[in-house]
Structure 1
Amino acid sequence: MKLSLGPLQYFWPRATTLAFYRSVADWPVDIVYLGETVCSKRRELGFRDWLALAEELAEAGKEVVLSTLALVEAESELGVVHRQVGNDRFMIEANDLSAVQLCRERGVPFVGGPSLNVYNHRALAMLVEDGLRRWVPGTEQGRVLLQEMREAMAADEKPMPELEMLAWGRLPLAWSARCFTARALDLPKDQCGFRCIEHPEGMPLSTREGEPFLTINGIQVQGSEVIDMAPLRDELAACGVGVLRISPQAEGTAGVVGRFRQALDATELPQPLGPPSGYWDGLPGKAALAMAVATGAA
């Protein structure tokens, strides 16, 4: 089983982002995803900057994948996707169907990102024919669905792509044309002032009763809890998952990577540091969190 560092979900200053990824060269991760996936207005780093980081990490022995936007709304954004797909060296994580189409037209193999909304084996088989080589199932897709997909693909004699699952980080739940961060600060989206850079792990959103509920991250909504799937290593492997994804956080990501590497190399499973994804077992998030609290994981 391999480890990957997923694309950065948050908006960090340029110097912080560059320093973070240059330190990644020495981390025990196999795959690194680079690029802006949430909001095209986040331009601290441009395409050339990401490409330069990709070259540095590739020289350090990492498999580098360039990630595209999850929500493409303008010709300028589509132009960036064109440049990414046409880079002629690094694989693409296609996070919407426009990126899939461009990869198919150029004959470029790609990773299917978690925002592609693939829910049945026929859609997955079609994407494999288009060039999909690795698939990151969406947040809400758990063990039962993966097992059904694998069985259906085998029954139709279709090749199953490599599977990658988010194993650490806040669950990305939804994207919108509206900016939740700007709205929370009573700002128009087009005059947001890039205020999400002030929230390196998003803005916490609570219920009226003061309970943690969601995390606001620009046009993206995430869960409030950081999930930990490391203790489910064997279950994930039994479902065909070959890559565990760690989502970058502002603090402690290097330690998380080290812990996951130990978890993959050890015979014993690690103690949980947070709740698992409730979607994995088809449980409501509150139920998964309650179970984690009961076992001392949260």
Structure 2
Amino acid sequence: MTTQLSLGPLQYYWPRDDVFAFYLSMAKTAVDIVYLGETVCSRRRELRLRDWLDIGHMLRDAGKQVVLSTQVLLESTSDVGNMQKVAANGEFTVEANDMGAVDALAGQQPFVAGPQLNLFNADSLAWMRELGAFRWVIPLEMNADSLAAVLSQTKAPMQTEVFAYGRMPLAFSARCFTARHYNRPKDDCGFSCIEHPDGQLLTTRESQNFLVLNGTQTQSARIYNLLGDMPGLLTLGVNVLRLSPQSRNMEQVIDAFDAVRGKRLDAHAASQLLETAMHDSSCNGYWHARPGMDMQTATP
């Protein structure tokens, strides 16, 4: 079976019209699966569930598989209520990003076990499969050898999805770092993160890009990029490669991965072309059991 490409949930806060325009353009690309929904902060209210469902209908009509993603960090009863509405949407598959969502979905419908559930071994994977997960997204820190070991010990069939491109969501907090930067309280943040469509870059004293602030989420500054590692990923039997949305050149990113998948370009040539679409340098250290910000150059 051909490895599928997925578009992960939008991690940033964009104006409503920009979100609709983005997904209209994504409907014309080669991605097979599109994840929708707010996963970072409940205060981001440009789109409501009804809007995400409308986008989902448009993408489904364009031939895409649609998955609704739940919020990672639930901080209030209203957050729990919103999660339960997503879980009970009745139309689309759901990606569970915390155990509350797993509980809401278990025994009710098949679901995707998101990367923030931190499933690192075959036993936890088997348990999630018993609860109804048909696909899991591996933790960002998992390396190729660890994934191979888990898959070799997994008896029940389950699809495997790997985060293959984008700034990595490293941590979530009850505090909003973007609001803090503007000296605003979280509850009166002015929605300042909407001013940073790809997050707010944080540099070291040596002026090196270090992290990206994205509201309550902390990301890597460098872009996790496994395009050069696709031959190994395909050998492992990975079913889905996840590409995380960025505000510019997303079509080029998808085209590069699709070209390698379709064997129209080799991984080395496609990686060189992808550089023009990226707004920061690449890293793939975690995949090679090295520090995350390292880059292991693909062999031509």
What are the ranges of 5 or more consecutive residues in structure 1 without an aligned counterpart?
none
Structure 2 CA distance for aligned equivalents of residues 144 and 71 of structure 1: 29
Corresponding residue for 2:70? 68
Q: Is the 8 A contact 2:86 2:94 kept in 1?
A: yes
Corresponding residue for 2:172? 175
Q: Which of 275, 281, 285 is equivalent to 1:278?
A: 285
| 3-state secondary structure, aligned to 1:215 | strand
Superposed structure 1 runs of 4+ greater than 4 Å apart: none
Give, in angstroms, the shift of residue 257 of structure 1. 0.9
| 3-state secondary structure, aligned to 2:229 | helix
What are the ranges of 5 or more consecutive residues in structure 2 without an aligned counterpart?
276-280
Corresponding residue for 1:25? 27
Structure 2 CA distance for aligned equivalents of residues 160 and 208 of structure 1: 48
The answer to whether residue 275 in structure 2 is matched with residue 266 in structure 1 is no
Give me the CA root mean square deviation: 1.7
| TM-score calculated relative to the size of structure 1 | 0.93
Q: Is the 8 A contact 1:85 1:108 kept in 2?
A: no
Q: Within 5 Å, which residues of 2 pair with 1:144-163?
A: 144-153=145-154, 158-163=155-160
Give, in angstroms, the shift of residue 238 of structure 1. 2.1
Give, in angstroms, the shift of residue 23 of structure 1. 1.6
Give, in angstroms, the shift of residue 184 of structure 1. 1.6
| TM-score calculated relative to the size of structure 2 | 0.92
Q: Within 5 Å, which residues of 2 pair with 1:1-298?
A: 1-105=3-107, 107-153=108-154, 158-266=155-263, 268-271=266-269, 272=271, 273=275, 274-286=281-293, 288-289=294-295, 291-292=296-297
Superimposed CA distance per residue, residues 87-128 of structure 1 (whole angstroms, 9 cap, x where no aligned partner): 1121001000000000015x2111111111112211111000
**How many pairs are equivalent?**
288
Structure 2 CA distance for aligned equivalents of residues 237 and 259 of structure 1: 16
| 3-state secondary structure, aligned to 2:43 | coil
Structure 2 CA distance for aligned equivalents of residues 180 and 239 of structure 1: 38
Corresponding residue for 2:278? none
Identity across the alignment (%): 45
Give, in angstroms, the shift of residue 270 of structure 1. 3.6
Structure 2 CA distance for aligned equivalents of residues 96 and 277 of structure 1: 25
Segment drifting more, 266-275 vs 208-217: 266-275
